[in-house]
Amino acid sequence: MRYGAVAIVDFSLSEELLAMRAHVRQFARAEIAPLAAELDAEPRFPRDTLAKMGELGLLGVLTPEDYGGAGLDTLSYVVLLEEIAAADASHATIMSVTNGLPQTMLLRYGSDEQKRRYLPRLASGEWIGAFCLSEPHAGSDAVAMTTRAQRVEGGYRLNGTKAWITGGGEADLYLVMAKTDPAAGARGVSCFLVEGGTPGMSFGRPERKLGQHAAITTTVTFDDCVVPETALLGPEGQGFVIAMASLDGGRIGIAALAVGVARAAFEAARDYANERTAFGRPIRRFQAVGFSLADMDTQIEAARMLTYRAAWLKDRGYRVTREAAQAKLFASEAAARITHDAIQVFGGYGYTKDYPVERYFRDARVTEIYEGTSEIQRMVIERQIYRDLDRR
Ligand code: CAA
């Protein structure tokens, strides 16, 4: 395995990708952005627009064409994901989870039969995929999970509760990490493919969250839920490593999502500061506002470059544990700051639902928490700094 810390990065976006970006931007502005406030208020899982995203290939971006996906690389994926996030973070989170975790995990670790059964459905958007790692008492310390998978004749019996599951009750395939050997720590976790509707599976009520309301989040409980042997993804005992390696990719997606939300907030603030006058001039002419816009623009560019860098390295087969954590850490914290500062530019109006910046602010906050908190990203980066020392 090669490590990105020693790589010189050289990427540019192809004409083809720029055309795709323009197309997806237009789609997101026309079909998703106008619904975002309504979906946030209800809230409602956006089935109809997800179906349209499926038709465009956005729910199977990384999955090869042989399995019904768009067969694009990670750099293309983050470019397109940013466009969806700039229109609505909830859509982007669902896109990020189903692409970046279940499909990536199936591609890397699935048997031929598992790939053929699930990938075409997921890639087309007919099915949505969910990722079940966290538990009510085991979030950052994921190894402390207590969900059990015990061998029974012909398969496994699952018992336990998973928490914070994006698409809980709405998704069609759940990738579930459960302990097959509780005494073996991280090496005692296995990964299972559990289809929605399997007897013994139930869902909590949607969590009442600060933001990203349309990306419904619930607990998922397994009560003597029996799955066949063929539901095991990868070897028994490999589930934790599978989850961690996949989160390296997932975190690049969350970084792109954070960049998209930050960009939407910046663009709203930029336009408002040009139109709104105070003391006889547009407020952007006041240094306090102008500098704030300059800082937002600079932070977005830096976050985007870290995200592209991690994606570019991943596409070339580098292990990106450190780079993905850096991109997610920087982009999510930048998004939280930028959406906060955008409200400041709008003043009192920014605090109301008359403008979208209050939603951007609420939607951005969780990017510092899900797929690993900022504290976990710092921990991952610190560990990797010392591991990479030996490789220079
Ligand atoms: N790639 C490959 N293998 C990895 C890895 C990676 N990135 N990270 C760890 N591993 C392997 C280790 O090498 C180790 O394997 P060995 O036993 O062979 O040595 C094993 O996994 C255990 O690793 P650690 O010893 O590092 O484990 P740890 O208990 O110290 O914890 C952690 C590691 C980084 C803190 C991890 O628990 C972690 O990332 N926690 C955060 C979990 C998280 O991100 N949750 C988000 C859930 S998804 C979500 O948000 C829901 C949603 O729907 C969006």
Q: Which atom of ligand 1 is nearest to the CA of 130?
A: 53
Nearest Cα residue to 266 out of 298, 288, 238? 298
What distance in Å separates the CA atoms of residue 265 and residue 339, rounded to the nearest whole number? 6
Q: Is 159 exposed, middle or buried (0-12, 13-18, 19+ CB in 10 A)?
A: middle
Please determine, for residue 93, whether its predicted confidence score (pLDDT) is greater than 90. yes
pLDDT computed for residue 12 by the predictor: 84
Mean pLDDT of the chain: 97
- Residues with catalytic roles: 371
What distance in Å separates the CA atoms of residue 291 and residue 335, rounded to the nearest whole number? 17
Quick one: the chain helix, strand, coil %, rounded to 5?
A: 60, 15, 25
Q: Which atom of ligand 1 is nearest to the CA of 321?
A: 7
Residues in contact with ligand 1 by the CB-under-6-Å rule are 97, 131, 133-134, 140, 142-143, 164-166, 186-187, 240-241, 244-245, 247-248, 321, 370-372, 376, 379-380
For residue 330, the tally of other CB atoms under 10 A from its CB is 21
pLDDT computed for residue 389 by the predictor: 85
Q: For residue 5, what pLDDT band results from cuts at 50, 70 and 90? A: low
Q: What is the mean pLDDT of residues 114-120?
A: 98
Q: Nearest residue CA, atom 15 of ligand 1?
A: 241
Q: For residue 9, what pLDDT band results from cuts at 50, 70 and 90? A: confident
Residue 241 CA to ligand 1 centre (angstroms): 7
Residue 58 CA to ligand 1 centre (angstroms): 27
Please determine, for residue 149, whether its predicted confidence score (pLDDT) is greater than 70. yes
Residue 134 CA to ligand 1 centre (angstroms): 11
The region of weakest confidence among 4-13, 45-54, 139-148 is 4-13
pTM exceeds 0.85, yes or no? yes
Residue 348 CA to ligand 1 centre (angstroms): 42
Whether residue 99 contacts residue 77, with contact meaning beta carbons closer than 8 Å, is answered with yes
pLDDT digits (tens, 9 = 90+) for 258-299: 999 999 999 999 999 999 999 999 999 999 999 999 999 999
